[in-house]
Amino acid sequence: MDPLYVLRQLGGIASSGELRKHCTKRSLAKAVSRERIVAVGKGRYAVPGLEAAWREAHRLSGVVSGRSAAQFWGLNLRLVPGEEVTPVVTVARNRRVEPGRRVGVDLKWRDLSQGSVVDVASVTRGAAGGRVTSLVQTVLDCCRDLPEVDALCVVDAALRRGVLRDDLLARADELPRSCRSRVRGVIELGDGRAATAFETCLRHIARSVPGLTVTPQVVIGQHRVDLADTDLRIVIEAESYAFHGSKEMFRADTRRYTWLVVDNWMVVRFVWEDVMLKPDWVRDELIRAVAVRESRPGHRSAG
């Protein structure tokens, strides 16, 4: 499997162990040598973009921020097929930057407190260093600047790595009123149980479906599923070619789906490309699934 393809499905960053489940050691080495993916530390790989952000931040005397900072902190992003991460740099609010110097950069004007910026002694591939927004500031910036689904991927990833929701909410309360409610709303939607950005995006679609209430990483019998509405007995799976990398994995999933269906669970499965590129179609199919389930007598789970 192509390492870049797998990395995009994993949210742009992954350990060598995660990638080796789906890619050969040789394909990883080749992808790095051709700069299709980059090594970002011992046993960690990412989609390209962070190095460019360091360069642009240095050129503009700014701070790496937003999605670029999320890459630095290892927070998974929503990446559509073929997407490259545009460098994001923050400069002071009153700073004047000529239009010609902004080309190729997503430039933000924002005053950052001293505690919101981290000085990095060394960065990827021997660069001299630079400044990046702190982990919490990065999450807040993403919630302010990105579409809700993209911001939610970052929030889920931060919660997954141990950032406390209360800490994020406390910092959100310090933001201007114009964006405070929006930022708090995304943080409150976050769920650290989500396994991947792909799953987060699917959950974001599902929560817009009337009558459907899903929970991430639900254990049913001896099986763990990506999302489930336990009242309607609907299981929703974020399916990927990358995650059926062996006959054993394919066999295990087939047996799992058979068990669930026989046990009266409706199983609906969506591939990465459709979740990222056709969210309206995914939502329509989930609406149909709910309608089918609710049309049957006794559709609500007794337990």
Interatomic CA distance for residues 303 and 214, integer angstroms: 15
Ranges for all domains in the chain classified under CATH 3.40.960.10:
198-294
Q: State both tokens at 289.
A: 């699934």
Per-residue DSSP letters for 125-158?
Answer: GG---EEEE-HHHHHHHHHHHS-HHHHHHHHHHH
Residue 69, pLDDT score: 96
- Give CATH superfamily name and number for 198-294: VSR Endonuclease (3.40.960.10)
Query: CB under 8 Å to 250, separation ≥6 — which residues?
Result: 244
What band does 300 get if pLDDT is binned at 50, 70 and 90?
A: low
Residue 104, pLDDT score: 92
Average pLDDT of the segment spanning 184-213: 97
Residue 169 has pLDDT above 90, yes or no: yes
Q: State both tokens at 296.
A: 């049957």
Task: Provide the CA 192 distance to its chain's centre, in angstroms.
Answer: 11
Residue 124 has pLDDT above 50, yes or no: no
What band does 298 get if pLDDT is binned at 50, 70 and 90?
A: low
Interval 228-275: pLDDT, tens = 999 999 999 998 765 555 677 778 888 999 999 999 999 999 999 999
| Kind of pairing between the strands at 215-220 and 130-133 | unpaired
**Backbone φ and ψ of 31, nearest 5°:** -65, -35
Q: Which residue has the tokens 């939607």?
A: 189
What band does 122 get if pLDDT is binned at 50, 70 and 90?
A: very low
Interatomic CA distance for residues 281 and 30, integer angstroms: 36
Residue 121, pLDDT score: 65
Mean pLDDT of the chain: 91
Residue 186, pLDDT score: 99
Residue 248, pLDDT score: 77
**Backbone φ and ψ of 224, nearest 5°:** -110, 130
Q: Which residue has the tokens 């931040």?
A: 57
- Angle at which helix 197-206 crosses helix 148-160, to 10 degrees, equals 130
- 44 strand-pairing partners: 15
Average pLDDT of the segment spanning 104-122: 90
Residue 13, pLDDT score: 86
Residue 21, pLDDT score: 79
Q: What single-letter DSSP state applies at residue 116?
A: G
Question: What is the identity of the amino acid at 65?
Answer: S
What band does 132 get if pLDDT is binned at 50, 70 and 90?
A: very high
Interatomic CA distance for residues 174 and 31, integer angstroms: 43
Share of the chain above pLDDT 70, in %: 93
What band does 150 get if pLDDT is binned at 50, 70 and 90?
A: very high
What band does 2 get if pLDDT is binned at 50, 70 and 90?
A: confident
Burial class, 111, CB count within 10 angstroms (exposed 0-12 / middle 13-18 / buried 19+): exposed
Average pLDDT of the segment spanning 71-100: 93
Interatomic CA distance for residues 78 and 238, integer angstroms: 14
Question: What is the identity of the amino acid at 283?
Answer: R
Per-residue DSSP letters for 212-261?
Answer: ---EEEEEETTEEEEEEETTTTEEEEEE-GGG--SHHHHHHHHHHHHHHH
What band does 205 get if pLDDT is binned at 50, 70 and 90?
A: very high
Q: Which of 27, 104, 106, 17 is nearest to 70 (CA)?
A: 106
Residue 289 has pLDDT above 70, yes or no: yes
CA distances in angstroms from 196 to 78, 79, 140, 256, listed in the order given: 9, 11, 20, 20
Q: What long-range pairs does 111-119 form, CB within 8 A, spacing at least 24?
A: 112/63, 112/137, 117/63
Share of the chain above pLDDT 90, in %: 70
Interatomic CA distance for residues 44 and 40, integer angstroms: 5
